[in-house]
Amino acid sequence: MKIAVTRRIPEAGLKVLEAFGEVKTLAMHQTDDGIASEALLKLVEGAQAILSTVGERMDAATMDAAGPQLKIIANMAVGYDNISLAEAAKRNILVTNTPGVLTEATADLAWTLILGAARRAGEAERVLRAGQWKGWGPLQFLGVDLYKKNLGLFGLGRIGQAVARRGRGFDMTVLYHDVNRLSASAEEALNARWVEKDELIAEADILSLHCPLTPETRHAFTLAEFRKMKPSVVIVNSARGPVIKEDDLCQALDEGLVFAAGLDVFEEEPVINPRLFDHERAFLLPHIGSATIETRDTMARMAAENIVAALSGDTPENLVPLPL
Ligand code: DGY
């Protein structure tokens, strides 16, 4: 059995694969930086299973490079927009993800972005580290309050709900827009109210994105939307970069249409739009939503277990539905 692991992953996952038997983990020597696509195509050659991450495109070329024996692509992520499901379906390749286990870590990170952007933490720390801080000042680094404000959530799946629960600690009013509406009792438990996208945009003081990347959500937020927001709004994205049209966000920051932005994901990862660096009020993190020791261990183990199940002829637990 040949299993291609596209990155260095936590031991917890590797151990599961190694215990499975004749497993060749091809990426033992890889670093965190990922691998160029040519190396990826070479890596997957002849593999029955690929353990991938959000950084690699699992498209027709990758699947063909692997060959017809490829049974499963197990993404070590909840999102799977890096995988062409149609191409997997054509080739009868199973696709799995790691839902649930990264919910709390990602919600914590969304709140790191909310707090960091609202209170201009990145900017303030940069000044301090540069030795430019001259002491306390009444007008220094003024941010915006969160207490009792409107927390707007675009997407209220597992992660959105976990973000909403944390909002209670700030006595916030939760407004959400999602194609799927929660039951009345679930809304009540979260104290969340479903609104149209336009109302969400107009009323949010904090707007945090928690939707998957789909053709419908790509560029859901452009200049047209930013123009309708409160100028004091803080926009936070820990979902997928292309949900926001980044150039438009930069223009909105230039023109003061929004107060600040907190981003953990970007349109062309790992390339960062240089215009974002011009903005002190852009609080930027390198896609670390699920990056805690415990969570990454669990994600790696889960992806590995999905592979073991598929290669043993069982149904993996976290199958992603494929188009017919
Ligand atoms: C995911 O799981 O989809 C994240 O973006 C990576 O942890």
**Domain at 164, CATH number:** 3.40.50.720
The SS3 call for residue 75 is: strand
Do strands 24-25 and 2-5 pair parallel, antiparallel, or not at all (unpaired)? parallel
Q: Which two tokens stand for residue 80?
A: 């799977």
Whose CA is closest to atom 2 on ligand 1?
A: 77
Q: In which element (H, E) is residue 195 found?
A: none
Specify whether 207 is located in the same domain as 112: yes
Let me know if residue 323 belongs to a domain. no
Residue 115 shares a structural domain with residue 205: yes
Give the pLDDT confidence score for residue 193 in this predicted structure. 98
How many domains, the chain?
2
**Cα distance between residue 253 and residue 248, in whole Å:** 9
Predicted confidence at residue 1, as pLDDT, reads 85
* pLDDT surpasses 60 at 38: yes
pTM of the model: 0.96
Residues 153 and 22 in one domain: no
Residue 79 within a domain: yes
Does the structure show a pLDDT above 50 at 212? yes
Tell me, in angstroms, the distance from the centre of ligand 1 to residue 81's CA: 10
Which residues lie across from 3 on neighbouring strands?
A: 25, 49
Q: What is the mean pLDDT of residues 19-23?
A: 69
With cut-offs at 50, 70 and 90, classify the pLDDT of residue 301: very high
What pLDDT, on the 0 to 100 scale, is given for residue 21?
A: 59
- The answer, yes or no, to whether residue 22 has pLDDT greater than 60, is no
Instruction: Say yes or no: 153 and 228 in one domain.
Output: yes
Q: Residues 129, 171: one domain?
A: yes
- Residue 14 domain-assigned (yes or no): yes
Regarding whether 263 and 214 lie in a shared domain, the answer is yes
Domain annotation covers residue 318:
no
Task: Assess whether 258 and 111 both reside in one domain.
Answer: yes
Task: Report yes or no on 208 lying in a domain.
Answer: yes
Question: In this model, does residue 36 exceed pLDDT 80?
Answer: no
**Enzyme catalytic residues:** 240, 269, 287
Write the CA distances from 210 to 181, 265, 324, integer angstroms: 14, 12, 27
φ, ψ for residue 188, nearest 5 deg: -65, -45
Percent of the chain scoring above 90 in pLDDT = 90
Range 16-38 average pLDDT: 69
Neighbours of 112 (CB within 10 A): 19
The string of pLDDT tens digits covering residues 80-130 is 999 999 999 999 999 999 999 999 999 999 999 999 999 999 999 999 999
Which of the listed residues 102, 306, 320 should we mutate to test ligand 1's pocket, taking the one with most ligand atoms within 8 A of CB? 102
Distance 155 CA to ligand 1 centre (A): 15
Is residue 313 packed enough to be buried (19+ CB in 10 Å), middle (13-18) or exposed (0-12)?
Answer: exposed
Residue 162 placed within a domain: yes
Are 65 and 117 contained in the same domain? no
Ligand 1 centroid – CA 296 distance (Å): 10
Domain co-membership, 73 together with 190: no
Residues 150 and 20 grouped into a single domain: no
Q: Has residue 322 been placed in a domain?
A: no
The string of pLDDT tens digits covering residues 137-191 is: 999 999 999 999 999 999 999 999 999 999 999 999 999 999 999 999 999 999 9
For ligand 1, what atom is nearest to the CA of residue 80? 3
Residue 26 — very low, low, confident or very high, per pLDDT cuts 50/70/90? low
Q: Are residues 173 and 47 in the same domain?
A: no
Supply the range of the domain harboring residue 262: 103-284
**pLDDT-derived band of residue 28, with 50, 70 and 90 as boundaries?**
very low
Whether residues 261 and 134 share a domain: the answer is yes
pLDDT classification of 256: cutoffs 50, 70, 90: very high
Q: What is the pLDDT of residue 37?
A: 84
Is 244 part of a structural domain of the chain? yes
